[in-house]
Amino acid sequence: MDQRTLPARTTDLAEGTLWPGVGDPIRLLTEITAWLRSYGATSTRRTYAEGLGLPTSVTDLRDWLSRADHTWVHVLRAYADTLDLTAALHADITDPERNRPPTRPGRFRPLHWLRWCASTGLDPVTAGSIDVLTWQDALRAAGAAPATRTRMLATVRTLYQHLAAAGLVTANPADLDRRRLGLRDPQPAKTILTLTPAEVAALLNAAARPRPGASPRDRLRARAVVALFTLGLRVSELCDLDHPDLHTTRGRRALRVTGKGGKIRTVYLTDLAESALTDYFDALPTAPTTTVTRATASGRAPLLITRTGTRCDRRDIWSLLRRLATAADLYELAGAMHPHALRHFYVTTAMEQGAHITDVQSDVGHARVDTTQRVYNHATRDPSRTAATHVGDTITRHLEQTP
DNA sequence: TCTACGGGTGCCAGCGTACC
DNA sequence: GGTACGCTGGCACCCGTAGA
């Protein structure tokens, strides 16, 4: 369908600025949908759609659908299906309580590629390299970090590869030398927050102490969470643990942990973690494996559950750690506390205590040993634990022995 | 190097629960 | 019973990491 035959409102989608000037918007959206479908994970499709300025929320999508004529609707529904938004849209319509606008629009949202094209009157199909350069300048001027601009450029470049293969464009305007865009500067090394053994002990003690609003079972769960984090787990690994993951192997209690990329590793329990888990299980009203939860309805029995019996969420864990840091009087840490700090604690403590780096790498599930080394190098380590102290002491002893 | 995914963070509204 | 705290579930974003 030619754009001229569309009702005016169909060219006025998504905040009224998305498609003006686009020669064949239906063809473009169809190809974008096909491109997104080439990715297996919905989260990836959503990330790319968001980066282009397309709707990824129910609110945005409903706005599109409300404006579209029947020709657009089937294209939009195909797009919504691609992002798994259709079911959420129906739930949203039947539940007005969920009909809320986004709480905070993105800082760079008006500068996402398609929105920027619309605001400048540019047809994305005819855009050239100079337009992409201008867009990148606009992003830089708006304060977008190099990593953000790199991500957005990569999204646009990959999209145009597909559009070129589909015959919609003749060349890829985003196939640019990133050095000329200032995108190859190395990231400054960030200091990694790492806890000391004393601070971890303070967290464990704070978890066990009575807190306002926290039941004894809450306290035992909090202690189990901190104890499990001392094994070097990622927060998502901890939340995803199921009861069958807790097992005995080679005479020791261990966890079967599913890490990034679905990689499974065995993590042996320390006495601390085992006792914390045992105390927590003892406090549950029913045997853990028979606890009725939403997750067990799908055949899984989460290791850690909330008061209502559902699986602990990573945001709960993050909030819990900050509360514990405050309760432990670690006020300076509380603002920066996050689950990875305990993972970094594991890496630095293990290596400072003489563990071999490859063993530590295996324990925490790093794919490459240089990742483990990087964590160790960038950690804010406890000065009292540095080997430099031992070297200095040795030299001092020799100096004292020398007349 | 790029892709795919995860982590970290902020905000909101409402309900549940332990404690005083 | 009132209150403070904890939990749930949703929205959004930027940025980092690890596998290929």
CA distances from A23 to A43, A178, A321, A377 (A): 29, 29, 53, 53
Residues 6 or more apart whose CB falls under 8 angstroms from that of A298 comprise none
Residues A228 and A150 in one domain: no
b/e string for A273-287 if b means 16 or more Cβ within 10 A? bbebbebbbeeeeee
Mean pLDDT of A370-382: 57
* Residue A12 confidence (pLDDT): 33
Task: Give a yes or no: residue A25 inside a domain.
Answer: yes
State which nucleotides on strand C lie below 7 Å from a protein beta carbon. Answer: 4-20
Lowest model confidence (mean pLDDT) among A58-72, A89-103, A180-194, A227-241? A89-103
Measured at the alpha carbon of residue A327, what is the angle toward residues A322 and A332, in degrees to the nearest 5? 60
| % pLDDT > 90, chain A | 0
Q: How many Å from the CA of A396 to C1' of B3?
A: 53
Residues A135 and A211 in one domain: no
* Residue A245 confidence (pLDDT): 79
Mean pLDDT of A212-229: 74
One-letter amino acid at A252 equals R
Q: How many Å from the CA of A1 to C1' of B12?
A: 42
Token digits of residue A104: 């905070």
Lowest model confidence (mean pLDDT) among A199-213, A220-234, A290-304? A290-304
Residues A319 and A210 in one domain: yes
Residue A149 CB-density burial (10 A; 0-12 exposed, 13-18 middle, 19+ buried): buried
- CA A298 to CA A306: how far, in whole Å? 17
* Residue A328 confidence (pLDDT): 72
* Residue A24 confidence (pLDDT): 74
Q: Which residue has the higher pLDDT, A279 or A61?
A: A279
Residues A145 and A223 in one domain: no
Residues A25 and A111 in one domain: yes
Task: Give a yes or no: residue A394 inside a domain.
Answer: no
Q: Is a pLDDT exceeding 50 seen at residue A23?
A: yes
Q: How many Å from the CA of A225 to C1' of B18?
A: 21
Residues A160 and A253 in one domain: no
Q: Is a pLDDT exceeding 70 seen at residue A190?
A: no
* Residue A211 confidence (pLDDT): 61
Task: Give a yes or no: residue A182 inside a domain.
Answer: no
3-state helix, strand, coil in chain A (%, to 5): 60, 5, 35
Domain boundary among A165, A186, A208: A165
Residues A223 and A348 in one domain: yes
Q: How many Å from the CA of A364 to C1' of C14?
A: 26
One-letter amino acid at A276 equals A
Residue A360 CB-density burial (10 A; 0-12 exposed, 13-18 middle, 19+ buried): buried
Q: Which residue has the higher pLDDT, A38 or A129?
A: A129
Q: What is the pLDDT of residues A314-371, one digit of tens each?
A: 666 776 776 777 667 676 666 556 666 777 777 777 777 777 776 777 777 665 565 6
Q: Which residue is nearest to nucleotide C16 (CA to C1')?
A: A147
pTM assigned to the model:
0.55
Task: Give a yes or no: residue A403 inside a domain.
Answer: no
Residues A265 and A365 in one domain: yes
Residues A160 and A206 in one domain: no
State which nucleotides on strand B lie below 7 Å from a protein beta carbon. Answer: 1-14, 16-20
Residues A20 and A110 in one domain: yes
- CA A65 to CA A205: how far, in whole Å? 54
| CATH code at position A360 | 1.10.443.10
Residue A95, domain extent: 10-165
Task: Give a yes or no: residue A171 inside a domain.
Answer: no
Residues A147 and A66 in one domain: yes
Domain boundary among A165, A183, A211: A165
Task: Give a yes or no: residue A175 inside a domain.
Answer: no
* Residue A46 confidence (pLDDT): 63
Q: Is a pLDDT exceeding 80 seen at residue A274?
A: yes
Q: Is a pLDDT exceeding 80 seen at residue A26?
A: no
| % pLDDT > 70, chain A | 42
Identify the band that residue A242 occupies on the pLDDT scale cut at 50, 70 and 90.
confident
Mean pLDDT of A264-288: 73
Task: Give a yes or no: residue A177 inside a domain.
Answer: no
* Residue A267 confidence (pLDDT): 78
For chain A, what is the total number of helices (H) and then of strands (E)?
19, 3
Task: Give a yes or no: residue A362 inside a domain.
Answer: yes
Are A37 and A75 in contact by the 8 Å Cβ rule? The answer is no
Q: Which residue has the higher pLDDT, A24 or A15?
A: A24
Q: Is a pLDDT exceeding 80 seen at residue A195?
A: no
First to last CA, chain A: 97
What's the number of domains chain A is made of? 2
Residue with tokens 């708006």: A142
Residues A82 and A223 in one domain: no
Q: Which residue is nearest to nucleotide B14 (CA to C1')?
A: A97
Q: Which residue is nearest to nucleotide C3 (CA to C1')?
A: A213
- CA A270 to CA A73: how far, in whole Å? 57
